[in-house]
Structure formats: structure tokens, C-alpha cells
A and B are shown apart, each in its own frame.
Chain A
Amino acid sequence: MTLTDEQRTEIRETANEVRRDVIRMVHAAGCGHPGGPLGMADFMSTLFLAHLKLTRSNLHAADRDRFILGNGHTCAGYYALLAQKGLIPRDELLRFRKLGSPLQGHPHRNAELGIDFSTGSLGNSLSVASGMALAAKLNGWSTRVYSTSSDGESQEGQIWEAATSAAHYGLANLTVIVDFNNIQIDGVMREVMNVRDLREKYAAFGWHAVDVDGHDIDAVDAALCAAAAETERPSAIIAETVIGKGVSFMENQSGWHGVAPNDEQAELALAELA
């Protein structure tokens, strides 16, 4: 199924709102990670609005879809999307990273807010997503399990253990979207530690694997539809993105991986995202 014009508009508007929230949240916290979530906003909005079945009404349904943010440091955008879905109260967003807030610096599982799993230590989540997918399969549920990952996280060995076992057990209900922006903390991924062609790697591990432009919401939607149509293999969508997307001075800069904008920078960023 292709996106309707209405859906396309809604996803674009949501992605922009998410970007604005990310700037506001990280600015209010005075620390955090703006770059990643700005880059992920387009594919995350496509996933959350057009594919992931998670709403207020099915929140507590055992067989509903699950989502794990494997690259947990990018949670500002995830929280903003959960707020868009009415699962996180909007005024909570500005308490991000503050003492006592449920919106922790890295996601902490929270059944009421729809945060399905605790993450933050890279490498762990694809295994957990596989376990969830395995349980859903065991129960005969139509649950789909989505996880994000990243080029940096793909350096962790456990990712490839999960890739092996998920294919071995034929977890067709599992989809990972890899935020591939070629940036990690210490700089350009291909210079720090080159993970090479992730589509080829996942394919070699027995996955249905595709490359997409992570900012092309139609392409992302098509890839998610194809993943849902798989019956034998888990799916990997390698989403090429630009870190900091939408804020000119943050784009492609590893320096914006984990630094908060100051007042002036936040204002500039919000003006660009108006």
C-alpha cells in the first residue's frame, strides 16, 4: 500500500514537529543528543504513523506491536513521537533528563507511556527484539516487532549474534531500521571503524535487507510494507540519513551527536524548522 496524500502530509508535519520538540527538549535539559533524532525523524514518523500499531486504546493489549529504540541515546525524538500519539503528556517533554522524570536520558521501560524496553547500552537491543518476536511467534500472534539500530551500534558483536539467531529462527515478524548516517561520537564512521555495507551483511546473514533514503518517506513506507510481506526472513532496512537533518549547522556534524544547543542556537534551529 502506498501512502495517501493526507498521510504523507501528516507524516511530514509530524516529522517537523518532532524535530522542533527535539531542539526544545535537549535545550531545556542542557544536555542530550539532538543530532541522531533529527536525522531519524522522517523514518521514525513514517513507522509510528503508518505502521507501528501502538495507540492509547491498544496500549495494554498483550499482542500489540512492539518497538525498541536500540540506539537509545536518540530518545528525544522517540519521546516526542510518543507524545504525538498521546501516550506521553506534552508538558512532560520539557522535564526530559531531569531528576524524577520518567523521560530518562536513555529509555526506561514504562508500560503507561508505551516505552516497551530499557536501552542505552549499544548492542543489546536486537537480541531483545528477537526474543519478543520469538515470543509473539510462539503465541501465534500477528504482532510485529520493530527495533532501530545505527551504523555505530553495528560495530557491536552482539548485533551479529542477534542477526544470526533471528534468521535461524525465521523471525519474519522482526524488522530493524538502521540509522545509517556515517557519524558516531569520535567522528566519521568509515574512518573510526568501518562497518562497510550493512545491506550486504544482513543479506549474508539471511535477512531480507534493503537500502533506502531515510528521508524519503515513500521509500521508507515501501520498505516497511515489503518487510511486513516477508514470511520467512527478518527484515533490515538500512536507512541512509543525515545527522542533524533540518538544522543547517548541525547537519553531518559529529559534534552534534551529544551536545545541547545554547539559547541562541536553539532559537536559530527552531527558526529553520518553522
Chain B
Amino acid sequence: MSGTSVSSPSINIAPRATGDVRRVATREAYGEALLQLGDEREDIVVLDADLSGSTKTRAFGAKHPERFFNMGVAEANMMGTAAGLAAMGKTVFASSFAMFAAGKAWEQLRQSVCVPNLSVKICATHAGLTVGEDGKSHQMLEDIALMRVLPNMKVFVPADAVEARQVIRVAAETPGPVYVRLSRAATPVVLADEYQFEIGRGTLLRDGGDVALAACGVEVAEVLEAAEILAREGIEARVLGLASIDPIDGELIRQAAEECGAILTAEEHQVNGGLGEAVAHVLVESRPVPMHMVGMRGEFGQSGKAGELIAHYGLDGASIAAAAKDLIARKG
């Protein structure tokens, strides 16, 4: 098998980080970006729900106490308050753990934020299995589904700290509701500092023509590892970073399907309603190819260390490489 190279000039080829692999949590990058934005823009107001140390909004709160409101353990009230602030012209960042930001306050987000199309940026941390030991009550595996189903809501899942910083900046500059899914665990920085995130654009992280591996969030590093494993066996995988889940990069996906003949998606989320289904949606409305979706298959998580859980549920690089080989065997 041989790797074909990408044909379209419009493809967004992402500069990859080089040298020693740094590990930084995307929530850390969020905290730093927010602090910077706060210095630049007076209209930015930040809300948190008793988790400011964990979500990293605390630094903003310390620097701009008059524009930071701790709402206590009351996420629904926080989202409603965010909507009111936004209706008066503020750009609001509201943070909690993904479970409570997206789960507890979903209806408030629908009625008070998305229906009136307000500038509330939900920056939800501790998403997915990599929350670790807190277990299933805290491992949000359904938020992409809950958020991408909402009209007006843009959904971004950055792969690393570099992308997270970009995403936060773009979220602040873009009118309307945005959901940003962030992680607790420190994960490898895969992108170079000069990388630019664009809404609705995916990125090409590795070229190849035997199979395409598309991922978001912490799974990007895992599919890159899978691609390395496959390369050692002579299989050239194309790797796509799909941080912009809604809107999604249909062109990049269609081209990968055409040139690779099969797409595997990987996400730290239920396969129902997540990134995989968003990719499948693009393809069934154009030209479907065999797909495999790596993710949680209709079960909740459990306590354990982040890395253990990723491996336990088959979301690690080695499991993804094995799944990719099965997928290649299904190519017509």
C-alpha cells in the first residue's frame, strides 16, 4: 500500500510541533487565553460555578474581580445569568465541568442562549474519560451530542493547548453561542505555535492514502500514535484534526473519503451523537465509504487513571491502529 498525497490546495495543513513533546492540559491554555482577552477587552465577563481553580478561570477573577462572578454550585442559574449579561451586550465566558455546564444547564442553554443567539461562550472543562478517578458521575461523554444538536451553537474540541488558545480567541471574536470542550489531563502538544484555527476548517496533521483517521480533543494524539504504529507496518494513514465539529469541514472529510477510501473517527465520547456521526452525516449526504467509530459504545465510564481508562475502553493508539487495520480490510 502506498500513500497518496493531498490534492486540493485549499487543505489546511497544520504545522506540527517539533522537538520534545510538551504536555499541557487544554484547560490551562483556556485560563491563559482568558486572562489575555480580559486585558484586551472590557466587555468580557466571566462566570464560574465553584470550580474556578479547576476550570482555570481563577486567574481572570484575580486580575479583573469586577468582571468575575462566582455563581456557586448553581449551573442552571449561571447559564441564565450569562444570557442576561449577553443580552445587555457583554461577551460572557461561563465555565464549569462539562458534565454540569452541558448536562445540568442544557435547557437553559437552549432557551436562553441558543434561541436568542447570544454571545455566551461555554468553556467546559474535565470532559470525557480523562477526568479519571471521579468516575462516571463526572465523566461527560454526551456533551458533543447535546451541544451539536442545538441550532446556533458552535462546537469546538481543541486537540491541544495550542489549538485551545486559538479556539478561545476565535470564540471571543465570533458573535453567538460557542461550546468549547476542554480536558483536565495534560496531553501532548501536537501543533506548532504558528498554527491558526479557523471555524469550520479541519486540519491535515499527517498525509497518507490508505486510511483516514479523524479525531478531536485528546484523541488527536492517540490517532497520531496509531498512525505511527501503522506506518511501521507499511500503512500510510492520513490524520485529520476536527476541532471544529459544528460547523464541520465537509470538504476535508469528502476528500479524505475519496482519496483514502475509509475513515475511522476517534473521540472521548459516546459514538452516538458525537464526532463520528457528524463525519458520517457529511458522507451519507455525499458519497459514503466504510467507517469505524472509536468511542464509548453505549456505556458509562468508571473510576481509574486517565491513561488506564483510555486503554480500557479501546481509545488508545494501539487499539485504534488495530481497528484501522480491520477497517482497511473492509475497503471495497
> A residues near B, CB below 8 A?
29, 31-32, 72, 97-101, 104-106, 108, 118-123, 152-153, 155-157, 184-186, 192-193, 195
Contact = CB atoms under 8 A, between A and B. Distances in A.
B304 A98 contact: yes
Nearest to B74: A155
B105 to A, nearest CB: 11
Contacts of B303: 97-99, 101, 104-105
Of listed B53, B100, B135, B309, residue having the most chain A CB within 10 A: B135
Given A156-B74, A157-B76, A99 B54 contact: no
A157 B74 contact: yes
Contacts, number: 92
A98 B99 CA distance: 21
B330 to A, nearest CB: 32
B134 A120 contact: yes
A108 B136 contact: yes
Q: Which of B50, B76, B104, B304 has the most CB of A within 10 A?
A: B50
Interface of B: 48, 50-54, 58, 70-74, 76-77, 99-100, 103-104, 132-138, 302-305, 308-309, 312
A99 B306 CA distance: 10
Contacts of B137: 72, 104-106, 118-121
Contact of A105 (B53, B71, B134): B134
Contacts of B74: 155-157, 193
Given A152-B72, A186-B53, A193-B71, A106 B309 contact: no
Contacts of B304: 98-100
A99 B137 CA distance: 15
A104 B136 contact: yes
Contacts of A155: 50, 72-74
A193 to B, nearest CB: 3
A227 B287 CA distance: 66
A183 to B, nearest CB: 11
Contact of B133 (A31, A122, A192): A31
Nearest to A95: B303
A185 B54 contact: yes
B50 A105 contact: no
B50 A186 contact: yes
A195 B132 CA distance: 31
A99 B308 contact: yes
Contacts of B134: 105-106, 120
Contacts of B308: 99
A105 B135 contact: yes
Contact of A186 (B52, B77, B103, B104): B52
B112 to A, nearest CB: 14
A168 to B, nearest CB: 21
A100 B48 CA distance: 33
A243 B308 CA distance: 32
A120 to B, nearest CB: 3
Ordered nearest first, which 5 A-B pairs have the shortest CB separation?
A120-B137, A193-B72, A99-B304, A155-B72, A105-B135
A122 B49 CA distance: 12
A185 B54 CA distance: 9
Given A120-B138, A155-B74, A157-B77, 6 more contacts: A97-B133, A99-B308, A105-B134, A155-B50, A156-B73, A185-B51
Contacts of A195: 72
Contacts of A104: 135-137, 302-303
Contact of A32 (B53, B103, B133): B133
Contacts of A184: 50, 72-73
A107 to B, nearest CB: 8
Nearest to B309: A99
Contact of A120 (B53, B70, B135): B135
A247 B47 CA distance: 34
Nearest to A185: B50
A98 B48 CA distance: 30
